[in-house]
A and B are shown apart, each in its own frame.
Chain A
Amino acid sequence: NAGVTQTPKFQVLKTGQSMTLQCAQDMNHNSMYWYRQDPGMGLRLIYYSASEGTTDKGEVPNGYNVSRLNKREFSLRLESAAPSQTSVYFCASSVTGREGYTFGSGTRLTVV
């Protein structure tokens, strides 16, 4: 089925470890996003990529880096994980950035 695929679905990290969350979409969308969702905080934008070759910071970029590998793939990297980064991470895509977003099923990350 067409959509946004995120891997892994679950991950437990120790403080200071690094990891990369992967996201791929097969809908030929230009824009891709990374959000985190915490209880009582709603979805907060970490980084986005308006089009292939560009990335920009969102509301909460500190502690994260991103790579728009090609039009399909947008990865999120945690260089040195901290307990405050325990969250559910969602990747999303849209055609140009104005329309409705298609979200992946999320990655539940726990940093201990």
Chain B
Amino acid sequence: SQKIEQNSEALNIQEGKTATLTCNYTNYSPAYLQWYRQDPGRGPVFLLLIRENEKEKRKERLKVTFDTTLKQSLFHITASQPADSATYLCALASGTYKYIFGTGTRLKV
């Protein structure tokens, strides 16, 4: 069955350093991959979308890579700030409408 794996352990990063979060998937060939941020008690907030034919996407201090050979996406936050502390979710879809979400990784800066 399709499976998305995100590190369930919290990631602790020193302020100013680059945080790198990993999203691995199996038994799946996604065409789209998204990253969301979720704060406690709130709904997820969309950050970035990357397509299967794109290797990298950037937005301000955020960078996402998508390696369809390794079946992996990396999410980087440069110059981390305490305000970046949250849970980050990845989501994948092979077509439209049916995104599958990972369980998320909690980041603490």
User: Does A12 belong to the interface (CB within 8 Å)?
Assistant: no
Residue among A44, A100, A101, A105 with max Cβ neighbours from chain B (10 Å):
A100
- Beta-carbon contacts of A49-66 to B below 8 Å, as 1s and 0s? 010000010110000000
Contact A101 B96 (CB under 8 A): no
In the bound complex, what is the Cα–Cα distance between A103 and B43 (angstroms)? 6
Contact A101 B46 (CB under 8 A): yes
Contact B98 A45 (CB under 8 A): yes
Contact of A31 among B48, B97, B104 (CB under 8 A): B97
In the bound complex, what is the Cα–Cα distance between A59 and B44 (angstroms)? 19
Q: How far is the CB of A110 from chain B (nearest CB, A)?
A: 15
Contact of B98 among A4, A41, A58 (CB under 8 A): A58
Given that A42-B89, A45-B99 are contacting pairs, would A100 and B46 also be in contact in the complex, using a CB cutoff of 8 Å? Answer: yes
Contact of B96 among A35, A45, A98 (CB under 8 A): A98
In the bound complex, what is the Cα–Cα distance between A48 and B95 (angstroms)? 14
Residue ID in chain A nearest B42 by CB atoms: A105
In the bound complex, residues from chain A placing their C-beta under 8 Å from that of B91 are 43
User: Does B77 belong to the interface (CB within 8 Å)?
Assistant: no
In the bound complex, residues from chain B placing their C-beta under 8 Å from that of A92 are 43
Contact of A100 among B4, B34, B96 (CB under 8 A): B34
9 nearest CB pairs, A to B: A100-B46, A103-B43, A97-B96, A43-B101, A42-B103, A97-B97, A42-B101, A103-B44, A98-B96
Residues of A within 8 A of B (CB): 4, 31, 33, 35, 40-45, 48, 50, 56, 58-59, 90, 92, 96-106
29 of the cross-chain contacts (CB-CB < 8 Å) are A31-B96, A33-B97, A40-B8, A40-B103, A42-B4, A42-B102, A42-B103, A43-B101, A44-B101, A45-B99, A48-B97, A48-B98, A50-B96, A56-B97, A90-B43, A96-B96, A97-B97, A98-B32, A98-B93, A98-B96, A100-B46, A101-B34, A101-B36, A103-B44, A103-B45, A104-B43, A106-B41, A106-B42, A106-B43
Residues of B within 8 A of A (CB): 4, 8, 32, 34, 36, 41-49, 89, 91, 93, 96-104
